[in-house]
Amino acid sequence: MGFVPTDYVDISDVRDRKKAAMFAHQTQNPEIVYDAYFKAMEDFRGLESRVKAAEGFIHFKARVERASIKGL
């Protein structure tokens, strides 16, 4: 919701490993959560960054490198 990544990490080669790590924590309801949320987002971020699967991040800059906005 309104999240626009500045950087992407290609997770295509480690996607199965990430999924296995999540499934190791049954309290997280992985059977439901992975397919409904994580897989869809990995696919979507992959499309955005032109790879099979990706994660998106925002790279925060040091305060001196940010645009200054009065009041912030």
What pTM was computed for the model?
A: 0.74
Hey, where are the domains in the chain? 7-60
Question: pLDDT, tens digit, for every residue of 19-52?
Answer: 999 899 888 788 899 989 999 999 999 999 999 9
Distance CA 67, CA 63 (A): 8
The residues facing 55 across adjacent strands are: 9
| Selection from 38, 72, 33 nearest residue 55 by Cα | 38
Residue 60's pLDDT band, with cuts at 50, 70 and 90, is confident
Which pLDDT does position 13 carry in this prediction?
97
Which pLDDT does position 43 carry in this prediction?
97
Phi, psi of 67 (to 5 degrees): -70, 140
Q: Count how many residues are written for the chain.
A: 72
